[in-house]
Amino acid sequence: MRTSWAESADNSAIGSGNGNSSAYPPRGAYVPPHLRNRSLPSEVPPAAASLPVNDRVNHGGPAPHHGGGYFKADQGRQQGHGSGYQTGGGWNVRGAGRDRGRREVNPFENDEAEEQSFSEQENTGINFEAYDDIPVETSGENVPPPVNTFAEIDLGEALNQNIQRCKYVKPTPVQRYAIPISLSGRDLMACAQTGSGKTAAFCFPIISGIMREQYVQKPRVARTAFPLALILSPTRELSCQIHDEAKKFSYQTGVKVVVAYGGAPITQQLRELERGVDILVATPGRLVDLLERARVSLQMIRYLALDEADRMLDMGFEPQIRKIVEQMDMPPPGMRQTLLFSATFPKEIQRLASDFLSSYVFLAVGRVGSSTDLIAQRVEYVLESDKRSHLMDLLHAQRENGIHGKQGLTLVFVETKKGADALEHCLCVNGFPAASIHGDRTQQERELALRSFKTGNTPILVATDVAARGLDIPRVAHVVNFDLPNDIDDYVHRIGRTGRAGKMGLATAFFNESNLSLAKPLADLMQEANQEVPAWLTRYAARAIYSGGNRNRRSGGSRFGGRDFRREGSFNKSTDYFGGGPGGVAGGGYGNYGGGYSQGVTSAWD
DNA sequence: AAAAAAG
């Protein structure tokens, strides 16, 4: 019989601080530090208890007017289905919230209840003033200027109402820039944090564009769906999340949003598609399946958005993405509008991405807050064999300080799926309520784990990189890199699960000899973020061997997740870099609208 | 080498 954390805690004088005479713990059982007869390898950092809890994302977005006539308006499409759609100055409210007799579910229904259950989520979260200091960098030809308020853009009455329902007051930086750019019809490559309204930044222009256009009649092919917009993301959960948000934004606009991803029965997704789809949110695998079955055609695609675009174009995904974008029936760049978003944009990925773009604008938005703040980063030297007990020490200290329960969530990243299972089990056995999520679990299990984490039912989630990107989980107070990733960009995405929307977060990393390749980039990153870099890490960093040209991927992008590779003169060894698609950017003429680069601001976090 | 994504 093992002793659980709860039991050992109950049976001892909690808080006495130095009861150090207990017997050696039973194998596998966790014993809190103060009951142990040994000193810890490194000091337990102050628990995250004092950190404010994450708030909901309050974003917004609006901007100027359509560049107009981007696509040929054609034989005015038939409007609505008889039911009273509102028509406000050129806006087509399609179907007016009714879908062939089915009533549109109000996606805002549950919001109030949810918010009330977390009193800390009152709308005090974002420091909007801080937004004014955010460094922004744009490049490309004739970049449309940003807007400052929602009032400056007319996205249409229906969409405006949804913006209000979402309680978005003021556009976030990425929205201020990206929405006007998108509305003017330009392609866009954007480096920006998700926590600050990235989804809205690409959804608003798409929805308003679809409402505005009197586009050509969709072909009628039995059982084939013809979406007008395609949004791709690298994980199923992220696609679900985007779908949920897009549903809110398109409520009562008549714009139909459907999600398709693997691991779930395809039949229901097929049914949804048959009912009609304007915006399709999908993961690549399932979409290819649908395309091959000819249940979806991309020939009517006007808008293509890639979320976490750098991941979508890396080695694992690139062939699938190329197949979808280049080898099916999607209109080429210039005939569609392409929007790429990510927190990190390595140069080599930018180069790949330019194949999909036409005369695009590059946008980099620094993170909210100006220097150290938001995410406190710690690195601790922990031997592989000590990791578990060290983690439990951290969790125990957090619990003592009351961060757990319904308050703060802890997300623990590990390298492998097996490792995730093992650690989850270990934590549960020791009385720490944990769930786990990784790609070998069934979709049901994955969604259950995520739900259980979000609700605070299991305030600890052990995850592989499946959860590293894009997921917006409010109240994650602490991200632990139990195993560090090999790629510094992955680290950036992981820690970006906390400190969101202007709230503080804590990120702790366990470092040892197996992470040598990360020493230098990690030390650099922390330095840029004004974090205290342990001396031992600096020594490792100095010793680090240059691993090819890779280590410098972030060069020039210290304030952001990336920098327009077109501006890196030395990188332009051949001429085709400017030529991605018809009317590629003809070098020169880069406009800067950002201004106010404050020093010490680091990369965009998401 | 690992993770993700179709079944």
Nearest residue to nucleotide B5, by CA–C1' distance, is: A285
pLDDT band at residue A335 under the 50/70/90 scheme: very high
Instruction: Name residue A342's amino acid.
Output: S
Q: Tell me which protein residue sits closest to nucleotide B6, measuring alpha carbon to C1'.
A: A285
Question: Which residue among A365, A383, A408 closes a domain?
Answer: A365
Q: How far is CA A75 from CA A213, A215, A330, in A?
A: 11, 8, 21
Give the residue numbers spanning the domain of A382.
48-54+371-548
Is the pLDDT score of A18 beyond 50?
no
The nt closest to A287 (CA vs C1′) is: B6
Give the CATH number for residue A214.
3.40.50.300
- What is the full DSSP assignment across A176-222? HHHHHHHHTT--EEEE--GGGTHHHHHHHHHHHHHHH--PPPPP--T
- Residue A292 shares a structural domain with residue A382: no
Which segment, A79-83, A164-168, A258-262, is predicted with the most confidence on average?
Answer: A258-262
Residue A91 included in any domain: no
User: Which of A95-104, A325-334, A377-386 bottoms out in mean pLDDT, i.e. has the lowest?
Assistant: A95-104
Kindly state whether residues A387 and A303 are assigned to the same domain: no
Per-residue confidence (pLDDT) for residue A123, from 0 to 100: 34
Q: How many domains does chain A have?
A: 2
**Shared domain check, A456 and A360:** no
Mean pLDDT of chain A: 76
A172 lies in some domain: yes
Are residues A398 and A293 part of one domain? Answer: no
Q: Nearest nucleotide to A269 by CA–C1' distance?
A: B6
**Residue A376 pairs with which residues in a beta bridge?**
A506
> Is A11 a member of any domain?
no
> For the residues A36-51, what does the mean pLDDT come to?
41
Q: Could you tell me the pLDDT band of residue A560, with boundaries at 50, 70 and 90? A: low
Whole-number pLDDT of residue A118: 40
Q: How confident is the model over A486-514, as a mean pLDDT?
A: 88
| pLDDT for A11 beyond 60 | no
CA to C1' distance (Å), from A317 to B5? 8
Distance CA A573, CA A546 (A): 23
User: Measured CA to C1', what is the nucleotide nearest A485?
Assistant: B2
Q: Please provide the size of chain A in residues.
A: 606
> Do A345 and A376 share a structural domain?
no
Nucleotide B3 C1' to residue A81 CA (A): 45
In whole angstroms, B1 C1' to A240 CA is: 29
Nearest nucleotide by C1' from A415 CA?
A: B2
Please give the average per-residue pLDDT across A13-36, as a whole number: 49
pLDDT tens, position by position, A340-351: 999 889 888 999
The answer on A408 and A346 residing in a single domain is no
CA–C1' span, A424 to B4, in Å? 20
Please check whether residues A257 and A318 belong to one and the same domain: yes
Per-residue pLDDT for A222 more than 60? yes
How confident is residue A502, by pLDDT bands cut at 50, 70 and 90? low
Cβ pair A226, A219 in contact under 8 A: yes
pLDDT score of A300: 96
Among all strands, which nt has the closest C1' to A319 (CA)?
B5
- For A256 and B5, how far is CA from C1' in angstroms? 25
A169-173, A200-204, A477-481, range with the lowest pLDDT: A169-173
* pLDDT, position A150: 82
The segment with the largest mean pLDDT, out of A60-74, A88-102, A141-155, A391-405, is A141-155
**Of A510, A428, A432, which Cα lies nearest the Cα of A41?**
A510
Residue nearest to nucleotide B3 (CA to C1'): A465
- What is the mean predicted confidence (pLDDT) over A126-145? 77
Domain membership flag for residue A110: no
**Strand nucleotide closest to residue A314 (CA to C1'):** B4
Is the pLDDT at A362 greater than 50? The verdict is yes
Mean pLDDT along residues A180-199: 88
Sign for the pseudo-dihedral over CA of A252, A253, A256, A257: negative
Distance B7 C1' – A224 CA (angstroms): 21
Does position A48 have pLDDT exceeding 70, yes or no? no
Residue A487: nearest nucleotide (C-alpha to C1'): B2
Q: Which nucleotides of B are covered by protein (CB under 7 A)?
A: 1-7
One-letter amino acid of A469: R
A340 and A377 belong to one structural domain? no
**Higher pLDDT residue, A538 or A504?**
A538
The answer to whether residue A167 is domain-embedded is yes
- Pairing type for strands A257-260 and A476-481 reads unpaired
Q: Which nucleotide is nearest to A290 (CA to C1')?
A: B6
Question: CA-CA distance, A286 to A293, in Å (whole number)?
Answer: 11
For the stretch A255-265, pLDDT in tens is 999 999 999 99
Spacing of A323 CA from B5 C1' in Å: 14
Same domain as A317, residue A450: no
- The integer distance in angstroms from the CA atom of A146 to the C1' atom of B2 is 41
- Torsional sign, CA A382, A383, A389, A391: positive
Specify whether A387 is located in the same domain as A422.
Answer: yes
Tens of pLDDT along A267-315?
999 999 999 999 999 999 999 999 999 999 999 999 999 999 999 999 9
What DSSP letter does each residue of A574-597 carry, written as one string? SGGGG-SSTT---S----------
Q: Examine residue A520 and state whether it is found in any structural domain, yes or no.
A: yes
A260 nearest nt, CA–C1': B6
pLDDT (0 to 100) of residue A111: 65
Q: Provide the b/e sequence for A123-143 (b: ≥16 CB within 10 Å).
A: eebbeeebbebbbbbbbbbeb
Would A2 be classed as within a structural domain? no
A211 CA → B1 C1’, Å: 47
E strand spans, A334-431: 337-342, 361-365, 375-381, 409-413
Q: At which residue do the structure tokens 């404010």 appear?
A: A52
Most confident of A338-342, A344-348, A550-554, A558-562: A338-342
CB closer than 7 A to strand B: which residues? A 234-237, 261-264, 266, 283-289, 292, 314-317, 320, 415-419, 438-440, 464-466, 486
Mean pLDDT of A159-181: 92
Q: What is the pLDDT at residue A107?
A: 86
Which of A515, A548, A581 lies at the terminal end of a domain, its last residue? A548
Which pair of structure tokens corresponds to residue A286? 């399932």
| Rounded distance in angstroms from the CA atom of residue A511 to the C1' atom of nucleotide B5 | 30
Q: How far apart are CA A449 and CA A426, in angstroms?
A: 16
Q: Give the end of a domain, one of A335, A365, A395.
A: A365
Same domain, A312 and A201: yes
Q: Is A120's pLDDT higher than 60?
A: no
Q: Is the per-residue pLDDT at A22 higher than 90?
A: no
| Helix-, strand-, coil-residue percentages of chain A, each rounded to 5 | 35, 15, 50
Protein A43 CA to nucleic acid B7 C1', in Å? Answer: 49
Tell me the nt nearest to A286, Cα to C1': B6
Confidence of residue A138 (pLDDT cuts 50, 70, 90): very high
Report CA(A204)–C1'(B3) in Å, whole number: 31
Number of Cβ within a 10 Å radius of residue A25: 17
The reply to whether A235 falls in a domain is yes
Instruction: Indicate if the pLDDT at residue A17 is higher than 50.
Output: no
Confidence of residue A117 (pLDDT cuts 50, 70, 90): very low
Residues A395 and A303 in one domain: no
**Distance from CA(A284) to C1'(B7), angstroms, rounded:** 14
Q: Under a CB-based contact definition with an 8 Å cutoff, are residues A447 and A237 in contact?
A: yes
